[in-house]
Amino acid sequence: MRPLRVAVIGAGPAGIYAADILTKQHEAAQVDVFDRLPAPYGLVRYGVAPDHPRIKEIIKALRRVLGGDQIRFFGNVEYGVDVSLKELQQHYHAVIFATGAIADRPLDIPGIDLPGSYGAADFVSWYAGHPDVPRDWPMDAESVAVIGAGNVALDVARMLAKPADEQLTTEIADNVHQGLAASNVKDVHVFARRGPAQIKFSPMELRELSHSPSVDVIVHPEGFEIDDAGQEAIAKSKGTRLVVNTLLKYLEAEPTGAPRRIHLHMCQAPVEVLGTDRVEGLRTERTEMRGDGVAHGTGDFTDTEVQAVYRAVGYLSTHLPDVPFDHDAGVITNDAGRVLEVDGTPMSGVYVTGWVKRGPVGLIGHTKSDANETITNLLADLDGLDLPSYDDPTAIVEHLTDRGVEFTTGEGWDRLDAHEMALGEDAGRERVKVVPREDMLRVSRG
C-alpha cells in the first residue's frame, strides 16, 4: 500500500472523522490535522452550551481518534496566514478542508444593525469560552427577542434566561458566569416564522427549556396552527410528534410565577427591528400555513418591546484563500467532496467535507457519511495525486517553526485538558475552561 500524507484543515468533527476514516481505509496514510485554535474539536467545544454535557460526550470519541498513531494535531495554525495551499501541497499528497461554518447568516430587515442587535453565533462563542471574542457581553436588557426556530435559538434563549449560579455545575468559564450573573433579563421572546409542526427544535432541546425552576416556558396560542401538511408531518415523524406534544404541554401549563420567562411565538415573521439609536422593539408579521410548507404573510403586525435582538437564522461558512467558493450556497465549490475549479474541473488533490462542503445542516451522523464520501473519492483518485516536494514528515514542523508559528500539538492539548480538569476539581466541577489564547498557549506549550 503506497504511502499517503494528507493535511486536514479544521479539527472539528468533520475533519477528525475524515482523518479517522482515511487512516482506517488506507493503512499507510499519515494525517496532520490543523486548526486555527490551540485546542481541537471545533463547534463541539466552542458551539455547544456549557449545560449540555451529554452532547459533549462526542469529545471522548474524537479524542480517541486524535490519539491514533497515524494522526498528528497542530493547533494555533491559521490557514491562509501561517500556511498557504501551495505550501501544504509541497508537504502533502492531498488537502482536505473541514473548516465548518462559524459566522452568522445575515437577516436583511430594517434596523438589524442597530446597537443591541446581535448574531447568535457571536453570543454562542462568548458563552462557550471562545478565545477570539470579547470577554464581556452586554446584559442590560430586561426583554430580549430571539429570531429563529432551531436548536441554536433555544440554546440562546435558555442561556439568557437561566440563572448564572445554576450553571456552576458545568464547565462555564469564569468570565461567562460573571457576565450572566449581572444579567437583567426577565423575558425572552422566541419568534418562529412557521407553525409547531414545521419548526426545527429537537425534542430534547425543547424539553430542557423547562428544567430550571427559575424559568417559566410560555407558548402563546396565537399562531399555534397545524395545517394538513403539518398533520401529515406529525403522522410521519416521531420527532415532530414529540415536539408538538411538548409544545402542547407548555401551552396548557399554568405559569408558576418564576422570575424569568421564555415566550414561544409561532407564525410570527420578523419584519423590522425598531429603534432610533438602539434596539427598542421588534415588529413581526402574523403568518399562516396553507399546506405548502411556506409561511404566508397576513398583513397583521405586532410590535414587541425589547431592548436586545438575537438572530439565530443559521450559520455561514467563510471564503478561504485560493479555494473556489460558491457565495450563494455558502460552500466551497465541490462535487461529492472534490473541490472544483471555476471551470468545473476538479482541483488536483484538494477536497472538502462537513458544513463547508454541504452547508450548515444535519447532525453528527450526517458529518460521518459526508466524510466517508469525500475519503472514498480521495482514495479513488490516489494514483493521480501529485507527489509532494518533501518526503520527511518533520518538514512541516520546520516550516511552521521557521515561520515563527507558536503551534500546539496533541501532547499540548493533553496538558491543557488536564489543566482545565484540575481547575474544575478545585471548583467541585468536571472542568473549568481556559479562555484567553495566551493562557491556552502557555499551558499547552508547557
With respect to residue 428, please indicate whether it lies within any of the assigned structural domains. Answer: no
Residues 86 and 136 in one domain: no
Query: Mean pLDDT in the chain?
Result: 94
What per-residue confidence (pLDDT) applies to 294? 87
- What 3-state class would DSSP assign to 424? helix
CB 385 within 8 A of CB 348: yes
What per-residue confidence (pLDDT) applies to 277? 96
Residues 138 and 240 in one domain: yes
Q: The domain spanning residue 393 has which CATH number?
A: 3.40.50.720
Please report where in the chains the cell 401538511 appears, as a residue: 229
Burial (CB < 10 A; 0-12, 13-18, 19+), residue 199, is buried
pLDDT tens, residue by residue, 138-185: 999 999 999 999 999 999 999 999 999 999 988 899 999 999 999 999
Residues 351 and 300 in one domain: no
**Entry pTM:** 0.93
What per-residue confidence (pLDDT) applies to 24? 96
Low-confidence ranges of the chain (pLDDT < 70): none
Which grid coordinates are listed for 305? 418591546
pLDDT tens, residue by residue, 209-267: 999 999 999 999 998 988 888 899 999 999 999 999 999 999 999 999 999 999 999 99
| CA distance linking residue 356 with residue 114, whole number of Å | 29
The DSSP call for residue 106 is P
Residue type, 358: R
Residues 42 and 186 in one domain: no
Residues 111 and 98 in one domain: no
What per-residue confidence (pLDDT) applies to 56? 72
The whole domain housing 89 covers 4-102+317-405
Residue type, 132: D
Residues 305 and 161 in one domain: yes
CB 278 within 8 A of CB 115: yes
CB 306 within 8 A of CB 143: yes
Q: The domain spanning residue 197 has which CATH number?
A: 3.50.50.60
CB 116 within 8 A of CB 278: yes
The total number of structural domains that make up the chain: 2
Which residues have a Cβ under 8 Å from the Cβ of 160 and sit 6 or more positions away?
144, 146, 183, 185, 188, 310
In the chain the first and final C-alpha atoms are separated, in Å, by 38
What per-residue confidence (pLDDT) applies to 430? 84
